[in-house]
Amino acid sequence: MELLDVATLSYNPLFLSLIILFSLLTWLKLVNKKKLNLPPSPPKLPIIGNIHQLGKLTHRSLRDISSNYGSLLLLQLGCNRTLLVSSADMIREIVKNHDVVFSDRPNTTAMDILFYGCNGLACGPYGEYWRRVKKMSVVELFSHQRVQSFQFVRNEEVEVLVNKIHRACLEGVSLSICRR
């Protein structure tokens, strides 16, 4: 039984068109590949990226990775690229000179659903609307007078929490702070 006849396969138009298509796609990929000036990155796996290099103590794993690759490196965490900066001087430079570039947050479907289209202060994109919302919240909500006007509410909540902890200690049960 003959498994594959190479001579008849090479004259097959479907096979020839697949070979041409594959070589064309490979050539286009090489031509259109842009050379980005990205920071160094440790080797990554195809789907999970660099997640496999993070251990139980993530901060120590990141410290070890940055000691090998420098204080500025690019990690691929799943499908998200993440810039890791482990130098205080570089952080100061980023915050001082490049704040607008790093101020946007990624929009995900969950953020879109939970935060009504990502239009608020916490997850909205940087721009004129975000600046107005921030200014309004700082002036109206987080001013010294407004914060002091709710001091009694904070005192009540602290008293409720302390009483709940006290009762739990007397009864010898574990405490669930989320329930009231």
* Residues 6 or more apart in contact with residue 30 via CB below 8 angstroms: none
CB 104 within 8 A of CB 126: yes
Helix (H, G, I), strand (E, B) or coil at 82: strand
For residue 66, give both structure tokens: 């940055």
Compare 99 and 167 and report the one with higher pLDDT.
167
Highest-scoring range by mean pLDDT, 13-17, 25-29, 110-114, 157-161: 157-161
Strands 72-77 and 80-85, sheet pairing: antiparallel
* pLDDT attached to residue 4: 56
Q: Is the pLDDT of residue 136 over 60?
A: yes
Measured distance CA(176)–CA(164) in Å, rounded: 9
- Is residue 6 predicted with pLDDT exceeding 60? no
Residues ≥6 apart with Cβ < 8 Å to 70: 39, 40
122's CB contacts (< 8 A; 6+ apart) are 115
How far apart CA 64 and CA 53 sit, in angstroms, is: 10
Range in 31-35, 55-59, 108-112, 141-145 the model is least confident about: 31-35
How many helices (H) does the chain have, and how many strands (E)?
9, 2
Query: Could you tell me what percent of the chain has a pLDDT over 70?
Result: 87
Q: CA 97, 98, 100, 105: dihedral to nearest 10 degrees?
A: -140
Report how far Cα 102 is from the mean position of its chain's Cα atoms.
Answer: 12
**pLDDT digits over 152-166, tens only?**
999 999 999 999 999
Residues 45-54 pLDDT 10s: 888 889 999 8
Q: How confident is the model at residue 1 (pLDDT cuts 50, 70, 90)?
A: very low
As a whole number, mean pLDDT of residues 57-75 equals 91
pLDDT at res. 30? 67
